[in-house]
Amino acid sequence: MFKLNLKIALRNLWRNRGITSINVGGLAIALAAFILVVLYFTYETSFDKTNPNYNNIYVVGRIEPDFKTNYTSPPLAKAIKQNFPEVENAGITKRGFFEFTMKNGNNTLFAKNFMQADFNAAKILDLKPTGGLEKPAGVADRLSYLSEENMKVLFPNKTDNKPEMVGMGPSNSGITSKINGSIANNLHSNITFDGISIGNEIGQGENYGYNNYTTYIQVKPGTDVANLEQKITDLYRKELLKGETDQKTIEEIKGVSTFLDPLANLHLRPKAGNDAPYKILIALFVLGILILVIACINFTNLSIAQATKRAKEVGVKKVMGAYRFQLTTQFLTEIFIQCFVATILALTIAELALPYFNNLFQVNLSIWNIENNLFWQLPLILCLITFVAGTYPALVLSGFKPALVLKGNFSTSKQSSWLRNGLLIFQFSIAVIFIIGLFIINAQLKYMRTQDLGFTANQVVYIKNISLFHKPEKFAPVRDKILKIQGIKSVTVATGVPDGSENGGNGYTVNGVQKSIDFVDVDFDYFETLDIKLKEGRFFSKSFSTDTTNSVVINESAVAKYGIKNPVGQTIRGCNIDYKIVGVAKDFKAQGFESAVQPTIYAIKNPCGNSKTKIMVKIEENRMADALAALKAQWPQINPQDGEDFRYEFLDELYGKLFKKQEQLQSVFFAAALLTIFIAILGLFAFAKYITNGRIKEIAVRKILGASDIQIFKLINSSFFIMVLVANVISWPVAYILTKKWLETFAYRIDLPVLPFVSSATITILLAVITVSIQAKKAVKANPVDALKYE
């Protein structure tokens, strides 16, 4: 019986190969898009899952009155381990804050991310050097490892895992360091590095004021995490209060707390960070599901539309004794065959599209990798789409009554008609949402690219270096040598560049009011190099000797946060120094458009700040190439500590990376809008063909009675026009809510425009009218005699 059903199914599919091709093709394209989305979703949600203690690892963070951060101090981990038996292990790590060079002969490595970790953190994070994780012999000893990839850069012919000596810095520095071996760098993890230094302890001698470490704890299974979180908060406050007598400080400490963030959260939605990547991933996954649903709707619609052609077949089979269950099985077999072929085609399309997808999202996904779970997900998806797309058509086809269909009195029910129309409206509603979303994303990106940032990144070159310029007099010789090169307009050095990265934060007091604000330690010409505008007062100048001791510039947001009136000349206290405010800088979007400008203080002297290492040079546009060539040639003399290792990045390119996620979203929505429109139009085309074929005789009679071609076109298009119009009306409120929510993720955004809603209606109505008219043209131009001659 199965063999017979299979033969009938293949015959029917071949006889209706046009519609079969549309069904299979549309489903294959949608399924290919869904496969790519599932691959990416699986990849993004499985970071660090190879860690055997994945579910029991937490980051300990701090909650201050003004901010939340993952950075804590070194003594906290040891205190947690000693006081709470439910904590199996606790350790700390610290990231390097600048890039340095490592050399082996002519082989050079630029280590951008060299991490420190204590032995306990290495165990918690499951770090695995080749040969196994070893505990350093002494308290102060360190074992240094390079990632396997970087070890090959320095030692391309190395076949053993013996320790090696490498040069640090320029060739003439004479500084060497021991590399104990290589270590696997799991790129599918939140803890990645170029190299790592592991010690028994790190951060010795640093107290609770040094909050630049990350604390990891591993708890016992079944631990009450909320209760532990509160206990750690109590412990942390207790430690901070030791020896403290100032009542105001005591009250401030009582407002400080801690939190525990699961390792599972760190990649997509950290508590002390931005959860935009998580929202984008969920949106992408929903988008993939909707595209697949639209394709399934097409399948259902076309299958129901073909019902009349299969009615007599069903009638004959029922007269011959076939049961409804057997007929349902037969039709589901046909549908399964189509879905199976669509799945094979989808894998082919996905494989062809994968390089472009990988390039867009900067990942390295592969369909033929058992770790991506497609081996069990695809069969499940195949069965699911067969059930979703095929169940109702199979029940409709198997439910025909023989007495009616064999007399020729069969017509599809109103229920089927309502379902077809409803599904078509749903399809176009989704397409409209994607079109509106695409227009609004484009508008926001255009706004971001054209809006005044408050500073000028063009023609500014960020030069990386390893020298620490704490004082202006140390940087002055470097500045003077750089300025002698033709084409260079200004030079400065600071603790950070405006590329979206976070600045440090400290507590500062104005008029008895203490607030935590960002700090950036700078040198002369910082504001001039970046073309930052002055609101009032002045910027730093060599003409004022106090500028290198106790003068600061604050931005507009800091003035607003403290509520200062006439800020120039007033005192702001921080790091045990009474600073004089000499100027107010206009706000500029250093962190991009998603975050509001942070209240910030700029100082040349800041004992509590970070090292000034980031050199910025403003160069004339028409002399850029010559100036960079001269800088490279003269760098060993300009900055001997860096020697021949001159390297740079353009600041506008660094800042442009802040738009990457939104550009990805734009590309995805563009592809989704095209796909949904294509699939919807594909289904509409085939659907219109069946509707038109069913009205051939009606059209012939109308033409004989004098109806014009325009009137007939209008008649055929009217129902589709209404359905597309209804789809727009339904989708507008949904699109409005979704796009408004998305725009709210930006601190600086456009007002929600009306044009995308009008444009989506125009586009979908025009496409529907053109599609239906093309299909109706054959029926309109046909000779009425051909349709009526057999009557």
Confidence check: pLDDT of 714 > 70: yes
Query: What gap in Å lies between CA 191 and CA 169, rounded to an integer?
Result: 25
The DSSP symbol for 614 reads E
What does the pLDDT read at residue 694? 66
- Least confident piece of the model among 443-452, 473-482, 646-655, 767-776: 767-776
The answer to whether 466 and 97 have CB atoms below 8 angstroms apart is no
The answer to whether 161 and 130 have CB atoms below 8 angstroms apart is yes
The answer to whether 259 and 271 have CB atoms below 8 angstroms apart is yes
What does the pLDDT read at residue 514? 85
Query: What gap in Å lies between CA 116 and CA 127, rounded to an integer?
Result: 12
> Which residues partner with 178 through β-bridges?
165
**Helix (H) or strand (E) segment spanning residue 176:** strand 175-179
Confidence check: pLDDT of 30 > 90: no
Assign 358 to helix, strand or coil: helix
Q: Which of 111, 110, 114, 112 is nearest to 93 (CA)?
A: 114
pLDDT 10s digits, 214-238: 999 999 999 999 999 999 999 999 9
CA angle 533, 747, 429 (to 5 degrees): 140
**Between the ranges 463-472, 534-543, 700-709, where is the mean pLDDT highest?**
534-543
Higher pLDDT, 398 or 228: 228
Query: What gap in Å lies between CA 119 and CA 127, rounded to an integer?
Result: 10
Confidence check: pLDDT of 775 > 50: yes
Burial (0-12, 13-18, 19+ Cβ within 10 Å), 323: exposed
What does the pLDDT read at residue 215? 95
Query: What gap in Å lies between CA 57 and CA 215, rounded to an integer?
Result: 11
The DSSP symbol for 411 reads -
Mean pLDDT value of segment 555-565: 93
- Least confident piece of the model among 34-48, 72-86, 359-373, 464-478: 359-373
What phi-psi label fits residue 643: left (phi over 0), alpha (psi between -120 and 50 degrees) or beta? left
What does the pLDDT read at residue 320? 66
From the centroid of its chain, how far is CA 125? 24
Q: Which of 261, 120, 265, 267 is nearest to 186 (CA)?
A: 267
HSE-up (13 A, CA, CB side) for residue 174: 1
What does the pLDDT read at residue 787? 57
Q: Which of 572, 611, 506, 591 is nearest to 67 (CA)?
A: 506
Query: What gap in Å lies between CA 110 and CA 51, rounded to an integer?
Result: 28
Query: What gap in Å lies between CA 690 and CA 229, rounded to an integer?
Result: 65
What does the pLDDT read at residue 96? 78
| pLDDT band at 307; cut points 50, 70, 90 | low
- Least confident piece of the model among 53-57, 243-247, 307-311, 385-389: 307-311
Average pLDDT, the chain: 85
Residues 6+ apart with CB under 8 A from 536: 567, 568, 583, 584
Sequential DSSP letters for 56-121: GEEEEEEE-SS-EESEE-THHHHHHHHH-TTEEEEEEEEE-SS-EEEEETTEEEEES-EEEEEHHH
- Kind of pairing between the strands at 600-603 and 513-521: parallel
Confidence check: pLDDT of 251 > 50: yes
Query: What gap in Å lies between CA 499 and CA 657, rounded to an integer?
Result: 8
- Kind of pairing between the strands at 551-555 and 600-603: antiparallel
What does the pLDDT read at residue 219? 95
Mean pLDDT value of segment 249-269: 88
Tell me the one-letter amino acid at 138: G
pLDDT 10s digits, 577-636: 999 999 999 999 998 888 889 999 999 999 887 788 899 999 998 999 999 999 999 998
Query: What gap in Å lies between CA 512 and CA 522, rounded to an integer?
Result: 26
Q: Which two tokens stand for residue 692?
A: 């038109």
Domain ranges of the chain: 2-43+276-448+660-788, 54-265, 460-658
The answer to whether 28 and 346 have CB atoms below 8 angstroms apart is yes
Query: What gap in Å lies between CA 92 and CA 211, rounded to an integer?
Result: 11
Higher pLDDT, 514 or 313: 514
**What percent of the chain stands above pLDDT 70?**
89
The answer to whether 151 and 194 have CB atoms below 8 angstroms apart is no
Tell me the one-letter amino acid at 744: E
Mean pLDDT value of segment 690-708: 74
The DSSP symbol for 337 reads H
Q: Which two tokens stand for residue 358?
A: 């990988």
Mean pLDDT value of segment 537-546: 93
What does the pLDDT read at residue 791? 46
Query: What gap in Å lies between CA 627 and CA 713, rounded to an integer?
Result: 68
Assign 691 to helix, strand or coil: helix
Count the neighbouring beta carbons within 10 Å of the beta carbon of residue 82.
Answer: 11
**What percent of the chain stands above pLDDT 90?**
37
What does the pLDDT read at residue 313? 64
**Helix (H) or strand (E) segment spanning residue 436:** helix 414-450
Three-class SS of 13-62: HHHCHHHHHHHHHHHHHHHHHHHHHHHHHHHHCCCCCCCCCHHHEEEEEE
pLDDT 10s digits, 170-208: 777 778 888 998 998 888 888 888 899 999 889 888 888
| pLDDT band at 403; cut points 50, 70, 90 | low
Higher pLDDT, 373 or 511: 511
What does the pLDDT read at residue 536? 95
Four-point Cα dihedral 10, 11, 17, 22, nearest 10: -40
The answer to whether 494 and 523 have CB atoms below 8 angstroms apart is yes
Q: What is the pTM of this model?
A: 0.81
First-to-last alpha carbon distance for the chain, in angstroms, is: 39
HSE-up (13 A, CA, CB side) for residue 517: 29
